[in-house]
Amino acid sequence: MSDPLRLGIAGLGTVGAGVVKIVRQKSLLLEARTGRGIAISAVSARNREKDRGVPLTDYGWEDDPVTLATRDDVDVFVELVGGSDGPAKAAVEAALKAGKDVVTANKALLAHHGQALAELAEENGCVLRFEAAVAGGIPVIKALTEGLAANDITRVMGVMNGTCNYILTRMESGGLSYAEAFAEADGLGFLEADPELDVGGIDAGHKLSLLSAIAYGTQVSFDAVELEGIGRVSIDDIRQASDMGYKIKLLGVCRMTGRGLEQSMSPCLVPASSPLGQLEGGTNMVVIEGDQVGQIVMRGAGAGEGPTASAVMGDVVDIARGTRVTTFGAPASKLVKATPAKAATPAPYYLRMNLADKPGALAKVASALGEAGVSIHRMRQYDHVDNAAPVLIVTHKTTRAALDAALDAIPATGVVQGEPVALRIEQV
Amino acid sequence: MSDPLRLGIAGLGTVGAGVVKIVRQKSLLLEARTGRGIAISAVSARNREKDRGVPLTDYGWEDDPVTLATRDDVDVFVELVGGSDGPAKAAVEAALKAGKDVVTANKALLAHHGQALAELAEENGCVLRFEAAVAGGIPVIKALTEGLAANDITRVMGVMNGTCNYILTRMESGGLSYAEAFAEADGLGFLEADPELDVGGIDAGHKLSLLSAIAYGTQVSFDAVELEGIGRVSIDDIRQASDMGYKIKLLGVCRMTGRGLEQSMSPCLVPASSPLGQLEGGTNMVVIEGDQVGQIVMRGAGAGEGPTASAVMGDVVDIARGTRVTTFGAPASKLVKATPAKAATPAPYYLRMNLADKPGALAKVASALGEAGVSIHRMRQYDHVDNAAPVLIVTHKTTRAALDAALDAIPATGVVQGEPVALRIEQV
């Protein structure tokens, strides 16, 4: 029996407390599965006095996570502080420099500083693992980095923000407006302190950028993710999509093309009968497509104490067993800077706009599309209400560039009120 | 850069040829991801002359897989011969005794000899990996052994025989009888040489027994899997189930109960709206439930060259990276013999039987059930055809033992023709 693996845990919110509980309650199970004990040396959080539902008196206490990260009695620094900079970053850097392995659930940190941290880990012979940062309890980082490592990855897709999926699902099931569903999610405590992290697609975009890096051996480039939130999706869009056999999801998609790496996190239409289309409520789903394996779908809870702590401890178990895999599945020094490619892959698009009650209005829109090279697959115009008529268009496959050219030309027609909604139809 | 990892591949059928192709075509990718080259030293198969669509002249050849397994220039023996005994077993044993790591896709071998082989691997300091043996390309062994290792597993379920799922799906979609759908699957080459391996649930039962061992830290006990094939499922059962909102799947279920380890592979009703219920055609699905993570669903191709070779190579990549995990996720010497418990967990059951056209017939059946302690939730009797009327019953939750007592008592009523069909309704 080896010496126990000693953890220093920084951040004692829901997930941190969950990790402490697992270490306390499952010591025999963990020892049976790893061949060594797993112990907690010390912890750190902002408020020492707060009751977290789990006894902490057995462990050392550090007010400063950086001090915790470099303690001699810490083998693995578990970072659950959160935030892309500040104490989380300082502590992770300090841990790696001190030769400690790091396990983190911090998607923002890795989305912004993943490359530098992976290099730092490599220089110091440390592992930096982050299963809990993407899709909660679903072991998707492991599947992509390890299980599917013999594949050229052709596409990764994911519904990875449970709050957005909850809002979209409730809009459909309850006939709620976006504002109503947003308020409901807020009342249930589902939203981040800054809700834009959720509904703006930022949180999910962070996660996508990490999957891209692993899938394509590229340096994490969150800034290159095309982000679009769900705030402009209306109940009408959801109903129209449903009529056509689709669901609207905040969908992350990444793929390597001849023109570069596409990464987008945006509301998309997906077939209602597909696993992604059938995903309801706060559950997450990641779809990985490889040239050998075909399509692998993974589904599970994307947040919450148990699922996230399960993922953190999965990484800890790996380290206890001596598993040492590079941060993004290849040496950090070999990860290449990807050329970002704005949605280059042609796809059909769903468009909704409000047409003024003027003669020839529809023709003007149709010709603006045609002149940009966007051809129309289906079009429906509805009755005028308050001098405006909703028009729905499904295009044939087109590039985003052609579509944007058409959208840019539409204001000049003078017949469209407000800004059109344009959602990609992702073929899955 | 370390020395290349040298493979010896025994068995050059579809999967073996697929593995050779990946090693040849993806050498740069594999080297980038593992930090070392992966090479093939030698191969073995029954017929050296056969064209397998991939050049083999670069590699040594052995007629005898045992000789291949012990070659000095082989680090990892890849066993794709198949069969629970004979050359596959001899070669895996020889490889482990010679200190070689082993990767295999052989579910029958591990279902029958998994414990002995895991002990042999441990004694010789070798790893024995088998991702490809369960659910093809889905990295479920890795998820269960590693990613979810901090969970007490509460249940594992799986649809793990694509041929059976194809037959059941085609019965429903095409209105085919079992015999017709079976013939169709046979014509498409989906069936094993001995079809009972598929439709009798044996192949899927092998896979379930491996998942059980990992989930519960028990010695593989395939003999304790309650096996029931799909041969008695009729189109009527499928239609009736559908009317009630269920689908019929050949479902493997294992769970640890106070009375022991339940393992069953049998046709079950699952809710049509659940991921398992929505699974159509030859696709596989495994559902893992843990006390921390909740429910994780994994879906993908369960067979075929690419998916199975992807899984084999995932194990090879692990070994190339230096990952060394015990065969069943805990030291072989610590795996305990489980007490087998016959479907002890109470569940509702679906029953179908043919009732003779005699007065009081239905009452006799109802009272036979009642006397055994089985209470009826729903019952339907249909019109008599040829002096017999189909009767469908859904029971309240009951134990299998009580149900069997009722079924044993039914012949004595003298009003039921043939043997009743009894299918568990698994709540998912």
**Per-residue pLDDT at B159 exceeds 70:** yes
Residue A188 shares a structural domain with residue A274: yes
User: Nearest chain B Cα to A31, which residue?
Assistant: B330
**Per-residue pLDDT at B145 exceeds 80:** yes
Q: Which of B296, B325, B326 sits opposite A137 (nearest CB)?
A: B296
Catalytic positions of B: 207
Mean pLDDT of chain A: 95
Q: Do A293 and B278 touch (CB under 8 A)?
A: no
Residues 333-362 of B with CB under 8 A from A: 334
Report if residue A322 sits inside a domain.
no
Q: Across-strand partners of B56?
A: none
Q: Which of B148, B151, B294 sits opposite A301 (nearest CB)?
A: B294
As a dihedral over the C-alpha atoms of residue B164, residue B165, residue B166, residue B167, rounded to 10 degrees, the angle is 50
**Per-residue pLDDT at A381 exceeds 90:** no
**Is B11 one of the annotated binding-site residues?**
yes
Give pLDDT tens digits for A99-146.
999 999 999 999 999 999 999 999 999 999 999 999 999 999 999 999
Q: Do B139 and A148 touch (CB under 8 A)?
A: yes
Q: Do B310 and A151 touch (CB under 8 A)?
A: yes
Residue B144 shares a structural domain with residue B80: no
A277 close to B (CB below 8 A): no
Residues 127-156 of B with CB under 8 A from A: 131, 137-139, 142-143, 146-152
**Is B140 one of the annotated binding-site residues?**
no
B321 close to A (CB below 8 A): yes
Average of pLDDT values for A257-263? Answer: 94
Among residues B235, B72, B68, B216, the alpha carbon closest in space to that of B144 is found at B216
Q: What is the pLDDT of residue A358?
A: 85
Residue A296 shares a structural domain with residue A160: yes
**Whole-angstrom distance, CA of residue A64 vs CA of residue A85:** 15
Give pLDDT tens digits for A5-42.
999 999 999 999 999 999 999 999 999 999 999 999 99
Q: pLDDT > 70: what percent of chain B?
A: 100
A27 close to B (CB below 8 A): no
Q: Provide the pairing of β-strand B60-62 with B38-44.
A: parallel
Q: Residues of A annotated as binding site?
A: 10-17, 107, 192
Report if residue B338 sits inside a domain.
no
Residue A25 shares a structural domain with residue A79: yes
Report if residue B178 sits inside a domain.
yes
Vertex A153 angle, CA A150 and A159, to 5°? 125
Listed range (A54-63, A363-372, A384-393, B129-138) with the worst mean pLDDT: A384-393
B223 close to A (CB below 8 A): no
**Range of the structural domain that residue B223 is part of:** 140-300
Q: What is the pLDDT of residue B371?
A: 94
Q: What is the pLDDT of residue A329?
A: 97
From chain B, pick out residues whose CB is under 8 angstroms from the CB of A17: none
Report if residue B370 sits inside a domain.
yes
User: Nearest chain B Cα to A131, which residue?
Assistant: B147
Among residues A155, A206, A125, A147, the alpha carbon closest in space to that of A329 is found at A147
Residue B119 shares a structural domain with residue B144: no
As a dihedral over the C-alpha atoms of residue B188, residue B191, residue B192, residue B194, rounded to 10 degrees, the angle is -120
**Pair B382, B391: CB distance under 8 Å:** yes
Residue A154 shares a structural domain with residue A253: yes
Domain holding B388: CATH number? 3.30.70.260
**Whole-angstrom distance, CA of residue A148 vs CA of residue A144:** 5
Residue A220 shares a structural domain with residue A273: yes
Burial of A79 (0-12, 13-18, 19+ CB in 10 A): buried
- pLDDT band (50, 70, 90) for residue B381: confident
**Per-residue pLDDT at B293 exceeds 80:** yes
Among residues A361, A354, A366, A349, the alpha carbon closest in space to that of A403 is found at A349
**Whole-angstrom distance, CA of residue A212 vs CA of residue A75:** 29
Domain holding A247: CATH number? 3.30.360.10
**Per-residue pLDDT at A359 exceeds 90:** no
**Whole-angstrom distance, CA of residue A155 vs CA of residue B385:** 54
Residue A353 shares a structural domain with residue A279: no
Q: What is the pLDDT of residue B386?
A: 80
Report if residue A118 sits inside a domain.
no
Catalytic positions of A: 207
Q: Do B294 and A306 touch (CB under 8 A)?
A: yes
Residue A175 shares a structural domain with residue A258: yes
Average of pLDDT values for A306-310? Answer: 97
Shortest alpha-carbon distance between residue B373 and chain A (Å): 37
Report if residue B16 sits inside a domain.
yes
Between helices A178-187 and A162-174, what is the axis angle to 10°? 120
- pLDDT band (50, 70, 90) for residue A95: very high
From chain B, pick out residues whose CB is under 8 angstroms from the CB of A213: none
Q: What is the pLDDT of residue B1?
A: 52
From chain A, pick out residues whose CB is under 8 angstroms from the CB of B319: none
Q: Do B325 and A325 touch (CB under 8 A)?
A: no
- pLDDT band (50, 70, 90) for residue A1: low
Q: Do B151 and A309 touch (CB under 8 A)?
A: no
Give pLDDT tens digits for A184-196.
999 998 988 899 9
B29 close to A (CB below 8 A): yes
Among residues A26, A35, A131, A307, the alpha carbon closest in space to that of B152 is found at A26
From chain B, pick out residues whose CB is under 8 angstroms from the CB of A296: 137-139, 298-300
CA A45 vs CA A82, A83, A312: distances in Å:
11, 14, 17
A376 close to B (CB below 8 A): no
B196 close to A (CB below 8 A): no
Count of domains observed in chain A: 3
Report if residue B355 sits inside a domain.
yes
Q: What is the pLDDT of residue B342?
A: 81
Q: Residues of A annotated as binding site for NADP(+)?
A: 10-17
Residue B194 shares a structural domain with residue B132: no
**Pair A137, A310: CB distance under 8 Å:** yes
**Is B91 one of the annotated binding-site residues?**
no
Residue A290 shares a structural domain with residue A195: yes
Residue B146 shares a structural domain with residue B290: yes
From chain A, pick out residues whose CB is under 8 angstroms from the CB of B301: 293-295
User: Nearest chain A Cα to B137, which residue?
Assistant: A293
Domain holding B43: CATH number? 3.40.50.720
Q: What is the pLDDT of residue B357?
A: 84
Report if residue B11 sits inside a domain.
yes
A125 close to B (CB below 8 A): no
CB atoms near residue B46 (< 10 Å):
12
User: How many distinct helices (H) and strands (E) make up chain A?
Assistant: 14, 16
* A399 DSSP assignment: -
From chain B, pick out residues whose CB is under 8 angstroms from the CB of A316: 150
Structure tokens that stand for B3 in this block? 């020395």
Shortest alpha-carbon distance between residue A144 and chain B (Å): 9
Listed range (A127-131, A397-401, B345-349, B385-389) with the worst mean pLDDT: B385-389
Listed residues A56, A84, A104: the one ending a domain: A104
Shortest alpha-carbon distance between residue B130 and chain A (Å): 12
**Is B323 one of the annotated binding-site residues?**
no
Burial of B244 (0-12, 13-18, 19+ CB in 10 A): middle
